[in-house]
Amino acid sequence: MKTPAEPGFAFPDWAYKPESSPGSRQIQLWHFILELLRKEEYHDVIAWQGDYGEFVIKDPDEVARLWGVRKCKPQMNYDKLSRALRYYYNKRILHKTKGKRFTYKFNFNKLVLVNYPFIDMGMTGGPVPQSAPPVPSGGTHFRFPPCTPSDVLSPNEDLRSPTLYSSVARRLARGSVSDCSDGTSANSEVEESLSEEHLRRGPGPDIPPFRGPPLPRLAHEGIFRVYPRPRVPEPLSPFPVSPMGAPNSLLPPQLSPALPMTPNHMNYTPSPTLSPMYPGGNHFSFNPEDMKRYLQAHTQSVYNYHLSPRAFLHYPSIVVPQPQRPDKPLHLPHDEPPFKFKLQPPPLGRKQRERPLGAEPSSSSSSSSVVPQIKVEPISDAEEEEEELMVEVTDISEEEDEDVFKAPTLPEQKVIPSPLPTRDEEPHSAGPESGRCIPLKLRFKRRWSEDQRLEAEGVGEDSDKKVRGNLEESNVPPQPGGGPCRRVSTDLQRATEELSLENRDS
DNA sequence: TGCGGAAGTG
DNA sequence: CACTTCCGCA
C-alpha cells in the first residue's frame, strides 16, 4: 500500500543496520556511496564506471558535501571522505583503482559474497553488465549452521544484519541524501518508523512477515528449491540497472541461489538474518541470475585485484556433510577434504526430544558440564578461522592474495584422507538408530564420529589430547562402557539434533 | 592526488 | 567501532 513510489530502491537489508539495533550506527559511507551510485540524479557526481564495482567520483566535492549533509558534518570534504574510504581498504570493502583519479572499486566479493556465499564465483564469467552489479535475488532464507552469522562476517563489519532489516533499507530509498538539517529529503526517519511494519509485510498481503518461511529441508535436498518470485521486476537492483536489462520478461523459475553452481557453498543454508529481504518486499529483490553473472564477472576483477578469496575457501569448511551424491562429486576433486566440519556441541538445554542414543536422560545435565570440554576444537577453531580468514586476516593477504588464489591453503588438511568406508556411508546400512529418515543427522553423526575416531587414533593428536586433558581436568572420567567415542557420539548426537532442528524449523 | 598514522568523537 | 579531523609524506 504504502509503497513509496520511488523508482526502485533496492538495497539488501543486510546492508543496513536499523538504528534501533544495539550496535547500530548510522549509515555507513559505503552504503551511502552505493546509494548515490544507484541514483540517476547523482550520476554526474558519482557513477559506476569501468570494471565491475568500480566507480568514479566525478565530483568529489559534491560527494563530500552530500556525505557531510547526510552525516551532519558540514565540514566534510573530499579529503576527509577519502580518508574514510581509505579505511575501507583494509576492510576490503573498497580499494583504489590505481591510475584512475577518484576511482574506487567495491569489493562486492566481500560485501555480497559473504552474504551470498552460495553463489558460484567460478571464473566462468561471461559478459556482465558493467555498471550494475546485481545482487542475488531474495526469497532465500538462509540459515547458517550453529554458528551465527556474525561468525561469518567480520565482527567489525556491519554487513551482518542483526535481525530484521525490513525497513531501514526503505528509508534510504527515499531520504537518500540527507535528513538532518537539510530539507532535501527529511523523510527517512519518519517514513521509516511508519513503514517498519508493512514493510515486513511487504507490498502484498500475501506476504508473510519475514521470519522463517518454510526452510528448505537443507541445502542438499532442496537444491532446486523454487523461490518465490520477487514482486517487483528486477529493474530494482541495488545497483544501477544493468544493461542486460531486467530478466523480468521471463524469469526462469527462481532457483535457489544455492544451486548446483557451487557445491561448496550450498552445503549450508545461510542464516535468515543474512538473508536478503523477503521476496515479497519491494525493498529488495535481486535476481539470482544477475547475481550470478555479476559475481562471476566480478570474480574476475576480484581476482585481478586480489580480493579476498577467503570467502570462498573458507566456506567449504562450514560445509555440512553432503549426502552421497554419486552422480556428482560435489566438487573439489582432490585438494579439499570432503568436509572439514566439526560439529560444535550445541548448547544444551534445548530440544532433546530425540532419544538420546545410549545416554541417560539426565545425561544432558552431566554432559552439559562435559560439553565445554568436549569441544574438541570446533568453536574456537571454526569461529576464529572463520573470522580471520574471512575478514580480519585481511592484512595477511593484502599483498599475498595472489597466492591464495592460486593455491588455496586450507586451514587444516589433516582430514580424513580416505573416503569413508562404504559401510559408513551407506544410508541403507541403518545405524543403531532409527536407521531411516534421519539421513542428515546420521550422516552427520557418522561423519563426525569418523572424524573423532580418526583424531582419537592419532591424526589429530593435539585436539585429542586437548580433549582428554580437559576431560581429566574436569574430573569427568572417560565413559566406562563406551570410551571416548561414546561421549563423542553423544555430543554428536546432540549436535546433530541441534543441527537438524536448526534446519528443520526456523 | 593519494596514502596512512595519530588522536579525537559519539 | 566507524568514522572525522589533521597532517606529513610522496
The cell for A277 is 529481504
Average pLDDT over residues A453-472: 36
The residues, ordered by sequence, that sit 6+ positions from A163 with a Cβ below 8 Å of its Cβ are A21, A273
Residue A83 CA and nucleotide B2 C1' are separated, in Å, by 9
User: Can you tell me the mean pLDDT for A357-382?
Assistant: 34
pLDDT of residue A32: 93
The distance (Å) linking the CA of A20 with the C1' of B8 is: 25
- Work out the average pLDDT over A204-231: 30
pLDDT at A218: 30
- Kindly give, in sequence order, each residue whose CB lies less than 8 Å from that of residue A426, ignoring residues fewer than 6 positions away: none
Mean pLDDT of A259-268: 28
Q: Is the CB of A503 under 7 A from strand C?
A: no
Question: Cβ of residue A84 near strand C, that is under 7 Å?
Answer: yes
Residue of A328, A389, A306 lying closest to A117 (CA atoms): A389
Distance A254 CA to C3 C1' (A): 39
Give me the CA A74–C1' B5 separation in Å, rounded.
Answer: 24
Mean pLDDT of A154-169: 34
Q: How many CB atoms lie within 10 A of CB A333?
A: 6
* Average pLDDT score, chain A: 44
- The answer to pTM > 0.85 is no
CA angle A72, A105, A171 (to 5 degrees): 40
CA distance A58 to A116: 30
Written as one string, the DSSP assignment of A458-489 is: TTTHHHHHHHHHHHHHTT-PPPTTTHHHHHHH
Q: Which of residues 16-35 of A touch strand B (CB under 7 A)?
A: 25
List chain B nucleotides near protein: any atom < 7 Å from a Cβ: 1-6, 10
Q: What are phi and psi of A225, to 5 degrees?
A: -55, 140
CA distances from A60 to A28, A101, A103 (A): 17, 10, 10
d(Cα A449, Cα A275) in Å, to the nearest integer? 32
**Residues in contact with A282: Cβ distance below 8 Å, sequence separation at least 6, in sequence order:** A3, A202, A203, A231, A232, A236
Which pLDDT band, with edges at 50, 70 and 90, does A26 fall under? confident
A58: which DSSP letter? S
Instruction: Give the three-class secondary structure for A55.
Output: strand
State whether the Cα torsion A160-A172-A184-A242 is positive or negative: positive
Confidence category of residue A51, pLDDT binned at 50, 70, 90: confident
Location of C-alpha cell 544507484? A38
A79-104 per-position pLDDT tens digit: 999 999 999 999 989 999 999 999 99
Indicate the pLDDT class of residue A108, thresholds 50, 70 and 90: confident
> How do residues A297-350 score in pLDDT, each as one tens digit?
444 443 333 333 333 333 333 322 233 333 333 333 333 333 333 333 333 333
Residue nearest to nucleotide C6 (CA to C1'): A80
The percentage of residues in chain A with a pLDDT greater than 70, rounded to a whole number, is 16
**What is the pLDDT, as a whole number, of residue A43?**
92
Contacts 24+ apart (CB under 8 A), A311-314: A311/A109, A311/A110, A311/A113, A311/A114, A311/A117, A311/A390, A312/A113, A312/A117, A312/A121, A312/A264, A312/A265, A312/A408, A313/A389, A313/A404, A313/A408, A313/A409, A313/A410, A314/A385, A314/A386, A314/A389, A314/A390
Does residue A145 surpass a pLDDT of 60?
no
d(C-alpha A426, C-alpha A443), whole Å: 9
Mean pLDDT, residues A145-171: 34
Alpha carbon A47 to chain centroid distance?
27
CA A306 to C1' C10, in angstroms, rounded, equals: 25
pLDDT over 90, % of chain A: 14
Residue A111: pLDDT band with limits 50, 70, 90:
low
Closest residue (CA) to C1' of nucleotide B3 is A86
pLDDT at A118 over 70: no
> Which is nearest to A277 in space by CA: A134, A136, A118, A131?
A136
How far is it, in rounded angstroms, from Cα A81 to Cα A371? 48
Give pLDDT, residue A193: 33
pLDDT computed for residue A109 by the predictor: 67
Is the minimum distance from the CB of A79 to strand B below 7 Å? yes
How much is the average pLDDT of A179-207?
A: 35
Closest CA to A497 of A378, A316, A356, A372: A356
Q: Region A173-201: what's the mean pLDDT?
A: 37
Burial (CB count <10 Å: 0-12, 13-18, 19+), residue A443: buried
Report yes or no: A369 and A171 within 8 Å, Cβ to Cβ. Answer: no
pLDDT 10s digits, A398-412? 333 333 322 333 333
The pairing of beta strand A54-57 with beta strand A103-106: antiparallel
pLDDT at residue A53 greater than cutoff 80: yes
Top-confidence range, A110-114, A279-283, A304-308, A378-382: A110-114
Task: Decide: residue A139, CB within 10 A, 0-12 exposed, 13-18 middle, 19+ buried.
Answer: buried
Determine phi and psi for A449, rounding to 5 degrees.
-55, -45
The residue type at A92:
R
Instruction: Specify which of A226-230, A319-323, A373-377, A456-460 reaches the highest per-range mean pLDDT.
Output: A456-460
CB-based burial of residue A335 (10 Å sphere; 0-12 exposed, 13-18 middle, 19+ buried)? exposed
Q: Give distance CA A91 / C1' C2 (Å).
A: 11
